[in-house]
Structure 1
Amino acid sequence: MSGILDTVNQRTQLVGQNRLELLTFRLMRRQRYGINVFKVKEVLQCPKLTSMPNLHPLVKGVAHIRGQTVSVIDMSLATGGLPINDPENRFIIISEFNRSTQGFLVGSVERIVNMHWEAILPPPEGTGSSNYLTAVTEIDGELVEILDVEKILNEISPVNEEISEEVLSQKPVVEEGGSAPNVVLVADDSSVARRQVKRAVETIGYDVILAHDGRDALNKLQEMAAEGDIYDRLALVISDIEMPEMDGYTLTTEIKKDANLKDLHVVLHSSLSGVFNEAMVQRVGADAFIPKFDPDELSAAVIQAVKGVES
Structure 2
Amino acid sequence: MSNSVLSSVDQRTKLVGENRLELLMFQLGTRHTFAMNVFKIKEVINIPKLNIMPGSHSNLKGVMNYRGKSIPIIDLRQAIKMRSAVAEDFAKNIIITEYNRSVQGFIIGEVKTIVNMSWSDIQPPPKGIGKTNYLTAITQVNSEGKSELVEIIDVEKVLAEIIDYDITISQEVLDDDIVSHFKDKKILIVDDSATARKQIRDTLEQLGVTIIERKNGAEALLLLQKWAGEGKRPSDVILLMFTDAEMPEMDGYRLTAEVRNDPRMEDLFIALNTSLSGSFNDAMVEKVGCNRFISKFQPDMLVDVAQQRLREYLAEK
TM-score for the superposition, normalised by structure 2:
0.92
Equivalent in 106, 112, 115 of residue 113 of structure 1: 115
Corresponding residue of 2:38: 37
- Cα–Cα, structure 1 residues 34 and 309, in superposed 2: closer, same or farther, change >3 Å? same
Distance in 2 (CA, whole Å) between partners of 1:9 and 1:60 is 30
Match of 2:99 in 1: 97
Which letter maps to 1:174? H
Matched, 1:28 2:32: no
DSSP-derived class of the 1:11 partner: helix
- One-letter amino acid of the counterpart of residue 281, structure 1: V
Selected match of 2:173 from 167, 177, 183: 167
Read off the aligned partner of 1:268 and give its amino acid letter: L
Q: Which of the numbers 241, 257, 271 marks the counterpart of 1:237?
A: 241
Q: Distance in 2 between matches of 1:92 and 1:8?
A: 17
One-letter code of the match for 1:110?
A: K
Aligned partner letter, 1:111: T
Matches of 2:309 and 2:87, distance apart in 1: 46
Task: Name the CA distance, whole Å, in 2 between partners of 1:187 and 1:162.
Answer: 21
* Alignment counterpart, residue 257 of structure 2, candidates 253, 259, 268: 253
How far apart are residue 6 of structure 1 and its match? 2.0
Residues 103-155 of structure 1 deviation map (CA, whole Å, 9 limit, x = unaligned): 01001111110000000000001111110010000112111000110000000
What do you get for the CA RMSD once the two structures are aligned?
Answer: 1.7
Alignment match, 2:67:
66
Superimposed CA distance per residue, residues 142-196 of structure 1 (whole angstroms, 9 cap, x where no aligned partner): 110001100000001121111122233444323767xxxx111110000011111
Q: CA deviation at 1:84?
A: 7.8
Residue aligning to 1:147: 153
Count the aligned residue pairs: 306
- Rounded Cα–Cα distance in structure 2 between residues aligned with 1:41 and 1:143: 25
Superimposed CA distance per residue, residues 65-111 of structure 1 (whole angstroms, 9 cap, x where no aligned partner): 22121111000000112688447x61000000011000010011111
Q: Name the aligned partner's letter for residue 7 of structure 1.
A: S
Residues 77 and 84 in structure 1, CA contact (< 8 A), matched pair in contact too: no
Tell me what 2:7 maps to: 6
8 Å contact kept, 2:182–2:207? no
Residues 176 and 92 from structure 1, CA distance in 2 versus in 1: closer, same or farther, beyond 3 angstroms? closer
Q: 1: CA distance between counterparts of 2:289 and 2:233?
A: 21
Contact 2:59/2:75 (CA < 8 Å) preserved in 1? yes
8 A contact 1:46–1:91 mirrored in 2 = yes
Aligned residue type for 1:52: M
Q: Which runs of 4+ in 1 moved over 6 A?
A: none
User: Per-residue deviation at 1:10?
Assistant: 3.0
Correspondent of 1:131 among 126, 130, 133: 133
String of CA shifts for 1:202-237, please: whole Å, max 9, x gaps.
211211110000000000111112222333221111
Q: Could you list the runs of 5+ residues in structure 2 that have no partner in the other structure?
A: none
Partner Cα separation in structure 2 for residue 284 and residue 80 of structure 1 = 38
- Structure 1 spans left out of the alignment, 5+ residues: none
CA distance in 2, matches of 1:5, 1:38: 9
CA distance in 1, matches of 2:151, 2:262: 33
User: Which of 270, 275, 294 is the equivalent residue of 2:274?
Assistant: 270
